[in-house]
Homo-oligomer: A and B are copies of this chain.
Amino acid sequence: MFIVHVFVHVKEEFVEEFKALTIENAKESLLEPGVARFDIVQQHEDPTRFVLVEVYKTYEDPGKHKQTEHYTRWRDAVNHMMAEPRFSTKFYNVFPDEEGWV
């Protein structure tokens, strides 16, 4: 699996709107054949910070995700909500193996 953790810091007034839009994007992303999981977690100590835990089946799948209509719609809709630019870290799965990400 090719896993991307996207770190997001949202302006406080947009937290709930960001959550709703990102849940919608996660649900649509899970319909992509290359997406195994698309988790959204909110930081305990600072609820304006989120991590999107995106689990792709191959190295090529994040690029395909970024070409979808739902991704570009989400990206444009949340653009003004960012407190700072998003950044990401990329990983491989050590455990579980390929079967364990559904």
Contacts and interface: CB of A to CB of B under 8 A. Distances in A.
Interface of A is mostly: strand
Q: In the complex, which of the residues A2, A43, A53, A95 has the most CB atoms of chain B within 10 Å of its own CB atom?
A: A95
Contacts of A51: 5, 91
B89 A23 contact: no
Contact of A92 (B3, B23, B27, B41): B41
A96 interface: yes
A3 B19 CA distance: 17
B22 A94 contact: yes
25 contacts: A2-B44, A3-B41, A5-B51, A19-B94, A22-B94, A23-B94, A23-B95, A26-B95, A26-B96, A27-B95, A39-B95, A40-B93, A40-B94, A41-B93, A41-B94, A42-B91, A42-B92, A42-B93, A43-B89, A43-B91, A44-B89, A44-B92, A45-B90, A51-B91, A53-B53
